[in-house]
Amino acid sequence: MTNLEWYRTFKSVYKNGNFSLAAKELFISQPAVSQQISMLEAHVGYKLFIRRSKGVEPTDYAKLLNNLIIEALERLENVENGFRAKAFDANRLISVGISKHLMSSIASTLVSEFDFIDFSFHENDVLFELVDSKKLDFAVVTKRYDTFDTIQKKLGEIKQIIVGSNTIDLTILKSNIKSKNFDATENWLNEQKWFSHDAQIPHIKLFWLHVFNKKRPSMIPNYIIPSEYEMLEIIAKNTGVAVVWNINAKNFILENKIQLLWDSKDMPHTEVFLLSNKKENLKAIFDKIELKLKNLL
């Protein structure tokens, strides 16, 4: 039975005129080259190379064989190299940047789709700079950027809500919200134990701005937990409230680990985008990530 490696070895020896050079090119030993040529000679029934002091010289049969196989062998090698390149693109390490607050709910979805991902945690502007400078392949951001050097597509929308532990009695709060008594609602919220992912309470400030029309709430956060997912885990086991993304709280609420305190209609939705640099070999992966995250959001 014909062995393709015999012909690869024959091609290399014919081109280099030397068994040692062929062995280096093929990353095999010189005896292995000699053995494969001997086996090919036995298979075709002719002597292919004559040994000289500085290498080998092809016989007329070798020249004929080279003319017959070289085009087909090169086509086959091109197909093989193309297949390897596609397989590499399909399984290559991709770098994805995202806010650490959205890691568990959004980025973790990608783990089931790709074998190799290098995640980085940064906020929007840093993520844009990293993608724009081609230091990151992709980023999930909550801000739109105008640029000619990157691709950006909307994935969906998320919203900030107030959640709390199941130990909290919501009777008074729900009554105040229903009657639109926002002063009493704010006072009730100010009296609670508060969790925040940042000492500057950016999410809480944003909620107060849109819902109460105030630039800053009067409460001080009791606990600073730098990741929303970890914060939700702790709230589920203790007592307290927090402003979080609805996508992060969704499963916690469905599993009855925490409760929804307030999903205000005055709080706007925030758009989520997929950002990528313009590398042609990233397009197929971009489309795959886009579809996966659009279905999630």
CATH number of 4-90: 1.10.10.10
**CA 261/CA 161 separation, integer angstroms:** 8
**What pairs with residue 158 in β-bridges?**
270
How does pLDDT run across 160-203, given as a tens digit for each residue? 999 999 999 999 999 999 999 999 999 999 999 999 988 889 99
Yes or no: say if 243 and 203 are a contact pair by the CB < 8 Å rule.
yes
* For residue 89, pLDDT beyond 70: no
Yes or no: say if 6 and 49 are a contact pair by the CB < 8 Å rule.
no
Question: 71 or 43: whose pLDDT is higher?
Answer: 43
* For residue 138, pLDDT beyond 60: yes
Calculate mean pLDDT across residues 25-54.
88
CA 162 vs. chain centroid, Å, equals 29
**CA 182/CA 194 separation, integer angstroms:** 18
CATH 1.10.10.10 region(s) of the chain? Answer: 4-90
Task: For residue 48, give Cα distances in angstroms to 25, 28, 67, 107, 199.
Answer: 20, 20, 13, 59, 79
**CA 21/CA 26 separation, integer angstroms:** 9
Give the CA-trace dihedral at 70, 76, 79, 85, to 10 degrees. -90
**Residue with structure tokens 């937990």?**
225
CATH 3.40.190.10 region(s) of the chain? Answer: 94-156+270-296, 158-269
- Percentage of the chain modeled with pLDDT above 70: 95
Tell me which architecture the domain covering 94-156+270-296 has in CATH: 3-Layer(aba) Sandwich (3.40)
Calculate mean pLDDT across residues 3-18.
88
Yes or no: say if 226 and 196 are a contact pair by the CB < 8 Å rule.
no
Q: CB-hemisphere CA count at 13 Å for 45? A: 0
**Residue with structure tokens 């085009």?**
71
**DSSP labels, 152-167:** EEEEEEEEEEEEEETT
Q: What share of the chain is helix, strand, coil (3-state, %, to 5)?
A: 50, 20, 30
**CA 272/CA 68 separation, integer angstroms:** 58
Please report, as a single letter, which amino acid is at residue 205.
K
Question: Kind and range of the H or E element at 253?
Answer: helix 246-254
Q: Which residues of 203-212 are buried (b: 16+ CB within 10 A; e: fewer)?
A: bbbebbeebb
pLDDT band, residue 70 (cuts 50/70/90): confident
CATH classification of 158-269 is 3.40.190.10, yes or no?
A: yes
| CA distance from start to end of the chain | 56
The pTM score is 0.66
